[in-house]
């Protein structure tokens, strides 16, 4: 795999514009997409990524993390996101950027990263595969200190499109709704595990009119899917239903505040007017904000693994319920759901206080 090293973190808006301009050509090629041989064989590497104290403080504030101490478990995703956008907007990436839905994310923190550390951040794509609603891909982000892998995540994205008549998805693709604890048999070229993660069932890709049950969980520039959190000592115990822990009132400007802190200023998150251009009735919260906000409630300094499944968008303003629980193995389960009578589930997830063998 070729390694490319940008001289500075790529700017997001030029990458998004390139992706938008290239999308008509990519969309025409989608139905006949060939699995496994059309991803760019490129790893983007940013050596010595610097953490800006003011942005880190703003991120901790908007997500509910403590201001002091090591980086929040989700923050390396912020450092790697410009690289991910550049990769997805690049010439060799086969899926159109507009309407790309972030369906899942899984994070493993092997050891803490301090705010003064300058980790090497790398991003590459793997696991291009058919899905019953289109095509999925996984973006792998890794952080290293002095050559040691200290943090990694897998984000799964879905491009919705008509399937080629002969295309067949992986067994059970798109049928599961909860985070998996089973390791995947799929491997990338380097031999590491990749989860063929299922996608949520509700909503169209951004940019298409939503049906009555609303638009997709999230879309391009913004959030992130994954390798599943894994059990290393046997099958998972039955998981009790999460209990309500808190209710959060989300203001209309939440997307703008998180966007300023994270750098993800996707228009679907900013204003009702800009979100309507992509089929949403109002602005929606960033999926990665919902994930980070839930993790901030779960002893975040102790967390070593976390997985989230993005199931439905959170409209702004609005009120949501955070629910959580623990299994007998001390793995935490959580979900974010609507506060209305329907209690629509927006996010489900699982956490663990042990990273397990890498």
Query: HSE-up of 122 (CA within 13 Å, CB side)?
Result: 18
b/e 4-25 (16+ beta carbons within 10 angstroms → b): eeeeebbebeebbebbeebbee
At residue 236, does pLDDT exceed 80? no
Stretch 196-220: mean pLDDT: 38
Q: Which pLDDT score, from 0 to 100, does residue 38 have?
A: 75
Q: Which pLDDT score, from 0 to 100, does residue 330 have?
A: 39
b/e 130-158 (16+ beta carbons within 10 angstroms → b): bbbbbbbbbbbbbbbbeeeebbbbbbbbb
* 40 phi and psi angles, rounded to 5 deg: -65, 130
Q: Tens digit of pLDDT for each residue in 91-129?
A: 788 888 877 889 999 999 999 999 999 999 999 999 898
Q: Tens digit of pLDDT for each residue in 295-334?
A: 999 888 889 999 999 999 999 999 999 998 765 443 689 9
At residue 198, does pLDDT exceed 80? no
Q: Which residues contact 15 (CB under 8 A, 6 or more apart)?
A: 82, 85, 86, 88, 89
Q: Tell me how far apart the alpha carbons of residues 347 and 335 are, in angstroms, rounded to a whole number.
A: 5
Q: Which residue has the tokens 């239903």?
A: 241
At residue 30, does pLDDT exceed 60? no
Q: Which pLDDT score, from 0 to 100, does residue 95 have?
A: 85
At residue 33 the predicted structure's pLDDT band, cuts being 50, 70 and 90, is low
Element (H, E) at 294: helix 287-295
At residue 140, does pLDDT exceed 80? yes
61-65, 153-157, 194-198, 321-325, range with the lowest pLDDT = 194-198
Mean pLDDT of the chain: 77
Stretch 284-289: mean pLDDT: 97
Q: Which pLDDT score, from 0 to 100, does residue 23 have?
A: 53
Query: CA nearest 205: which of 268, 263, 257, 259?
Result: 268
At residue 13 the predicted structure's pLDDT band, cuts being 50, 70 and 90, is low
Q: Which pLDDT score, from 0 to 100, does residue 64 have?
A: 97
Stretch 329-347: mean pLDDT: 85
Tokens for 175, please give them.
């049928």
Q: Tens digit of pLDDT for each residue in 238-269?
A: 556 688 999 999 999 999 999 999 999 888 99
Element (H, E) at 86: helix 75-89
Q: Which pLDDT score, from 0 to 100, does residue 11 have?
A: 65
Query: CA nearest 12: which of 322, 299, 260, 233?
Result: 260
Stretch 146-153: mean pLDDT: 98
Residues of the chain above pLDDT 90, percent: 49
* Helix, coil or strand: residue 259: helix
Q: Are strands 42-46 and 2-4 parallel, antiparallel or unpaired?
A: parallel
């Amino acid at each position: 795999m070729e390694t490319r090293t940008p001289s500075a973190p790529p700017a997001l808006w030029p990458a998004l514009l390139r992706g938008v301009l290239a999308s008509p050509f990519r969309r025409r090629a989608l139905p006949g997409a060939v699995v496994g041989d059309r991803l760019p064989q490129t790893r983007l590497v940013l050596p010595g990524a610097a953490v800006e104290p003011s942005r880190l403080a703003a991120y901790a504030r908007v997500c509910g993390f403590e201001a002091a101490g090591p980086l929040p478990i989700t923050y390396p995703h912020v450092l790697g996101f410009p690289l991910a956008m550049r990769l997805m907007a690049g010439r060799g990436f086969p899926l159109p950027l507009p309407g790309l839905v972030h369906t899942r994310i899984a994070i493993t923190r092997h050891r803490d990263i301090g705010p003064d550390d300058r980790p090497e951040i790398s991003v590459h794509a793997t696991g291009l595969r058919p899905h019953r609603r289109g095509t999925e891909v996984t973006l792998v982000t890794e952080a290293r200190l002095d050559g040691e892998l200290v943090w990694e995540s897998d984000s799964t994205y879905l491009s919705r499109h008509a399937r080629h008549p002969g295309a067949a998805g992986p067994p059970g693709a798109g049928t599961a709704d909860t985070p998996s604890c089973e390791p995947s048999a799929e491997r990338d070229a380097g031999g590491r595990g990749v989860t063929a993660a299922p996608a949520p069932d509700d909503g169209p890709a951004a940019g298409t009119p939503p049906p009555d049950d609303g638009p997709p969980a999230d879309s391009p520039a913004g959030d992130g899917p994954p390798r599943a959190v894994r059990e290393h000592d046997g099958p998972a115990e039955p998981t009790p239903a999460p209990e309500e822990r808190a209710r959060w009132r989300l203001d209309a400007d939440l997307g703008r505040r998180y966007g300023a802190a994270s750098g993800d200023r996707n228009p679907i998150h900013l204003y009702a007017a800009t979100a309507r251009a992509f089929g949403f009735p109002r602005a929606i919260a960033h999926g990665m904000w919902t994930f980070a906000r839930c993790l901030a409630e779960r002893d975040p300094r102790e967390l070593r693994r976390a997985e989230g499944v993005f199931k439905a968008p959170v409209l702004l303003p609005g009120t949501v319920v955070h629910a959580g629980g623990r299994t007998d193995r001390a793995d935490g389960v959580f979900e974010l759901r609507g506060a209305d009578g329907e209690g629509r589930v927006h996010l489900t997830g699982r956490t663990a206080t042990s990273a397990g063998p890498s």
